[in-house]
Amino acid sequence: MSHEYRKDPEAISRLSREQYQVTQEEGTEPPFNNAYWDNKEPGLYVDIVSGEPLFSSVNKYDSGTGWPSFTKPVEPENVVAVQDSSLGTIRTEVRSAHGDSHLGHVFDDGPAEAGGLRYCLNSAALRFIGRDDLEREGYGEYRRTFESSGSVE
């Protein structure tokens, strides 16, 4: 199934101030005070602007940072890495490929057994779709992600 994901001006107009600041102005939300840092529900995280699938709860882990952290994207082609020197140090920003939303940063201090990367994201850039809502929300093809992980009840 093919979807056309894009930067949607209508979706941007519906963003909260924080969501706009994070996705459109490269902002950062506070740690431990955001929607998904401690979300343990099975599901898919998509770009709040474009809807493109980004990360799965199967690859989410508690990094202790206060932001949702993942070891890898569910669709690598939907996540773009860009050099960021905005804080006087070199970091790697991650953006959505189609929505061009600022998502957060990727670091090389993730779990070694899962590849060593930590995608540290802003909840404000994401919309969470629970496993049981995937079909209804048009993401039914991602149900396989949870079936192969053994997390389907």
Cα–Cα distance, 116 to 72 (Å, whole number): 9
What are the helix (H) ranges across the chain?
9-13, 17-25, 143-148
CA distance 135 to 142: 9
Residue 23 · residue 124 · CB < 8 Å: yes
Q: Which residues are catalytic?
A: 120
- How many angstroms separate the CA atoms of 127 and 24, rounded? 15
- The residues that bridge with 118 in the sheet, in sequence order, are 107
Distances (CA, A) of 149 to 90, 137, 144: 35, 21, 8
Q: Which token pair is 104?
A: 């957060």
Residue 31 sits at the vertex; the CA angle it makes with 25 and 35, to the nearest 5 degrees, is: 80
